[in-house]
Amino acid sequence: MTTAELAERVNTGGLYKKRDGSPVTPFQIHGRTRKYPQLFSRAGSTISLARWGDSSNPASIDEPSRTVPDTAVRSITPSPAVASDVQASLLNDEAFRPAGSIDPEVPDRPGLYAIKVRDRAALPQPFCNLLDSRDSDLIYVGIASTSLRKRFLGQELRARGHGTFFRSIGAVLGFRPPSGSLVGMANSRNYTFAAQDNGAIIDWINANLIVNWIEFAGAHAVEESALLRAHTPLLNLQGNPAALPLLKALRAECVRIANAGATTV
């Protein structure tokens, strides 16, 4: 099961109570299982019992049988497409390439895309440590419903339009939009950075990120959603069970700055 699924089971089943009454998080599941490699096998955000069903392990012979209701099995079984071809292709380590070298290759077709950081230390704190806690270099997964060239390359990596990832990584790196730059605009949330800052963010992206994409005819949000639940990329907010409150706060700060002086926000 994924850390998010395990946390949900722990919380709904009342299996563990924290002193402050707050729910157990996927981060805590990840951290706790990491301390006991003799008990748990970990693959990204997926956790398995290390010796489950191993007849060579005496401790497993007397293990009582465990029956999972059919409804529970259906609720945690990922889409076969995502679990096999889509996920394997999109997250194949060998397929990732430097973000600065892909411009001529990105197709004008729908698909899914994934973004990783080369070196976690390139991210400012506390994001570096937060990524370490997930034991993953994956920081974003997205969907381009019509064109990877326009959405993924243009908006997310090159600041041509309103890229969700670009706005997030810019805020994480410490950049802020010009004060009042959204006043009078129809959309009071789609902040942008100054042209000079855009250039600095793009330079950072090209130097520190590696990316991959797959063409996916008729791409649907269900595949993206399954990937978010399974891998909880650091900078995804919507649909991410482990979305970072800190990232939400940084983006909200950018919105406030860009709307400074407006009558209403």
Q: List Cβ neighbours of 162 (8 Å cut-off, separation of 6 or more).
A: 155, 190, 192
Lowest mean pLDDT among 23-27, 80-84, 97-101: 80-84
138 with 112: CB under 8 angstroms? no
208 with 118: CB under 8 angstroms? yes
Output the six-digit token pair for 186: 């129809």
Please check the confidence at residue 261 and state whether its pLDDT lies above 80: no
Q: How far apart are CA 56 and CA 128, in angstroms?
A: 40
Please check the confidence at residue 34 and state whether its pLDDT lies above 80: no
Please check the confidence at residue 264 and state whether its pLDDT lies above 60: no
What is residue 24's predicted lDDT score, i.e. its pLDDT? Answer: 83
| Preceding amide of 126 cis, omega within 30 | yes
Mean pLDDT of 110-134: 94
Percent over 90 (pLDDT), the chain = 53
pTM: 0.68
154 with 161: CB under 8 angstroms? yes
What is residue 221's predicted lDDT score, i.e. its pLDDT? Answer: 66
pLDDT, one tens digit per residue, over 144-193 is 989 999 999 999 999 998 899 999 999 999 999 999 998 988 888 899 99
pLDDT, one tens digit per residue, over 203-248 is 999 999 999 999 876 656 677 888 898 899 999 999 999 999 999 9
What is the rounded average pLDDT for all residues in the chain? Answer: 83
Q: H/E element holding 209?
A: strand 209-215
Please check the confidence at residue 20 and state whether its pLDDT lies above 80: no
Q: How far apart are CA 6 and CA 122, in angstroms?
A: 30
Q: How far apart are CA 64 and CA 251, in angstroms?
A: 49
Please report, as a single letter, which amino acid is at residue 147: S
Give how far Cα 162 sits from Cα of 112, 151, 190, Å.
18, 9, 7
What are the beta bridge partners of residue 111? 144, 215
pLDDT bracket for residue 9 (50, 70, 90):
confident
Q: How far apart are CA 159 and CA 145, in angstroms?
A: 18
Q: How far apart are CA 57 and CA 93, in angstroms?
A: 33
pLDDT bracket for residue 76 (50, 70, 90):
very low
